[in-house]
Structures are given as structure tokens and as C-alpha cells.
Amino acid sequence: MSVDPKTAFCNALSFLTVIRFRNGGEFYPKAALYWFAPVGLLIGAGLALIHTMSGAVSPFLMIAYLAIITGFLHLDGLADTFDGLFSNKSRREKLRIMRDSRIGAIGAAALILSFLGKYHAFKQLAGFWPFVAIPSLSRFSMVFLFTVLPYLRKTGLGKEFSCERGGRLFIQIAPAEIIILFALGIQSWFLINSVFAAVLLFIFLWYKRSVGGITGDTLGAACEITETALFLTCVWL
């Protein structure tokens, strides 16, 4: 079924952020999946604006903004994923631990490291465009995982997202790639994408070996890991 692009974009925006649109309650996960990276661009534009306007307190405000705009969902996934996958339990037990609403020491440590990494990056980076592009690439990491790994829960929105496949899903990162290429140059573009590919490969192999697929928590964790790694890469540049 053909879905209006505006509806699909609003679906993706409502799924990935706290921004909600009234569209008769209709949700089309397959269509929304094509708009994850563009939604990341919008999130990144807000991040860049805060960086430009908030001065010395910008690193704190930027971290707070990313947490709030996503409803803390990705951070929750990061903590639950690290608690589960580092538990040295069976696959079934790891999945059970990730369902537990309580946070453990490993999950708390993962959150702290993520916050510290982003704080360092936000304090060091002076440009505008990396703040726009990186959130787009990090949201695309979820799209990539949907296409290469099975969804492990029997129910949930992620089950419907994971049914979609196809090369057209990858076109959505073109705007972010163009921004990086023209704003930072070919060498920086190559390095950022090398790190991006390496991080995606690591996450893919880690999830496949640990639990054999993905859940909502592991997708949120992938977004956070990718985002932190790419922002730190920009500092290195």
C-alpha cells in the first residue's frame, strides 16, 4: 500500500522523538523506516542550534536536549542492553534481563561513559554541520540493523519494522553524507564513514553472537553507541 510521504515522515518523527502528530492513529512502520535518517537531520538541526546559541553551557544543554527529544528511550535501551549482554547468562536470560526496568551497575556505567564521551565532543567541536549530520547517521544504524538481523520479540512495533528490506532504505543517508563531504572534505568524510562502518560491523557481530538478533533495547543502544563514536571521531579530526 502506498503511504503519503508526509504521513510516513510524521510516523517516523513520532516514533523516534517526543513530538506527536494526530493522523487518525494510523501508523505505517514500513513507510516510516525510510524516514529515520531525515528525522535524525531534524534532531541534529536542533542540536546545532543549541550549540550555536547557548555558549559555555552548551555541552550540558545539548546532552539534555538529545535525551529529552527522544524521551530517554535510547538511553534506556543502552542501559538495558549493557546489563543484559554483559551478564554472561544464556540468550534467554539476557533477553529477560533487558526487559527488567531496573538498571544495573553495568548499564549505569554505559550511560556515564556515553555522557562523558558526548560532553567531551560537544565541548571540543566548533563546527555547525557535524551536529546536523551525525544524529542522522546514528538513526540510520537502526535501519541497518532492521535489515540484517531478525527481531527477537514475538510482538511489538519492532517486529513490523523488521519486515522491510531493500536497497532504497539506504538512500535516506545521502543528505547527511553530502553534508559531511562538503563541510569537512573528502578525507574527513572517508574517515567518518570508515568508523561508521566499523561500528556497525562491531554491533552487528556483537548482537548476533550474544542474542542472535535485535530488540527495541538493542536498537536504542546502537543509536547511542554510533552517535557517541562518530562525535568523538569528529573531535579527532
Give which of 149, 188, 154 is closest to 165, Cα–Cα.
149
Give which of 107, 137, 124 is closest to 43, Cα–Cα.
137
Write down the pLDDT at residue 5.
Answer: 85
Write down the pLDDT at residue 22.
Answer: 64
Side-chain half-sphere exposure of 112, counting CA atoms within 13 A: 7
Write down the pLDDT at residue 163.
Answer: 61
Statement: residue 42 has pLDDT above 80: yes
Going by C-beta distance under 8 Å and a sequence separation of 6 or more, which residues neighbour residue 205? Answer: none
pLDDT band at 16 (very low <50, low <70, confident <90, very high): very high
Residue pair 203/78 in contact by the 8 Å Cβ criterion: no
Average of per-residue pLDDT across 91-115: 93
Q: pTM of this prediction?
A: 0.93
Residue pair 134/230 in contact by the 8 Å Cβ criterion: yes
Who has greater pLDDT, 135 or 31?
135
Determine the 3-state secondary structure of 59 from DSSP: helix
Tens digits of per-residue pLDDT, 122-171?
999 988 899 999 999 999 999 999 999 999 887 665 666 766 566 788 99
Location of C-alpha cell 534481563:
97
Q: In the 8-state DSSP scheme, what is residue 173?
A: G
Q: Which of 87-91, 137-141, 218-222 has the lowest mean pLDDT?
A: 87-91
Write down the pLDDT at residue 236.
Answer: 87
Q: What is the mean pLDDT of the chain?
A: 91
pLDDT band at 210 (very low <50, low <70, confident <90, very high): very high
Give which of 177, 189, 237, 194 is closest to 41, Cα–Cα.
177
Going by C-beta distance under 8 Å and a sequence separation of 6 or more, which residues neighbour residue 131? Answer: 44, 47, 48, 51, 62, 125
Q: What is the residue type of 150?
A: P
- The percentage of the chain sitting over the pLDDT mark of 70, rounded to a whole number, equals 93
Statement: residue 1 has pLDDT above 90: no
Write down the pLDDT at residue 207.
Answer: 97
For 1, 42, 101, 135, the CA distances from 58, given in Å and listed in that order, are 44, 18, 31, 17
Grid cell of 16 as nine digits:
523516534
Residue pair 75/66 in contact by the 8 Å Cβ criterion: no
pLDDT band at 25 (very low <50, low <70, confident <90, very high): low
* Rounded Cα–Cα distance for residues 118 and 112 (Å): 10
Give which of 237, 214, 62, 213 is closest to 135, Cα–Cα.
62
